[in-house]
Amino acid sequence: MSRIGKQQIEIPEKTEVTIKDGTVVVKGPKGELSKNFRPNILIEIKDKKVILSPKDEAIETMSLWGTYASHIMNMINGVNTPFQKKLIIEGIGYKATLSGSTIVLNIGFSHPVNIKIPAGLNVLIEKNIITVSGIDKEAVGQFTAVIRSRKEPEPYKGKGIRYFDEIIKRKEGKKSV
């Protein structure tokens, strides 16, 4: 049984949740999100609360129960307070600049790396810190992962792009005799 799925999700003030044909639409002060869900889980709204219940006892249905509850909670939280992730660029000569709707990364390659910013996300670059924010938690996480994958931190000098709270385990280099 899912402990997360059993909990009723409170709908805060200024937030509107509607369900139609398996699509949940959440409108709030920061924007609107919609997501399609399978019919295995019954999603209802009663007394400003979202209630999820499985239609059968299948393993797949029970595993989706908590997942769907988490998705709906993230949608409700996102339209009220945007999600935010920070990346740090470390390395001599490594830098990032914002050029219109693309990020230009100079990260030790012979050419600059251009990454297009998806719609609905805001990117702020201050010195060597990239801040990505938006109402969709999945989009924010995916885009920061794409940026990080361009130059993952290496364990010897720690050069590369890492998450703000990520700790890189450093290795000792070759020892001279």
Domains of the chain: 3-80 (3.90.930.12), 83-163 (3.90.930.12)
The predicted structure's pLDDT at residue 177: 66
- At 151 the pLDDT is 95
Structural contact between residues 113 and 107, judged by C-beta atoms closer than 8 angstroms: yes
**Residue ranges in the chain whose pLDDT is less than 50:** none
What type of residue sits at position 121? L
* 26 within 8 A of 15, measured Cβ to Cβ: yes
What pLDDT is recorded for position 90?
94
* Residue 1: predicted pLDDT: 60
Give the up-direction half-sphere exposure of residue 132: CA atoms within 13 A in the CB hemisphere.
Answer: 29
Give Rg (Cα) of the chain: 21
Number of H helices, E strands in the chain: 3, 13
Predicted pLDDT of residue 176:
72
Residue 8 vs residues 46, 51, 58, 139: alpha-carbon distances, Å: 10, 5, 21, 25
CA distance 108 to 95: 9
Confidence at residue 26, expressed as pLDDT on a 0 to 100 scale: 96
- The helix/strand/coil state of 135 is coil
Q: Which one, of 75, 80, 77, 82, lies nearest residue 29 by Cα?
A: 80
Helices 59-80, 137-149: axis angle to 10 degrees equals 90
pTM of the model: 0.90
**Structure tokens that stand for 80 in this block:** 């009220």
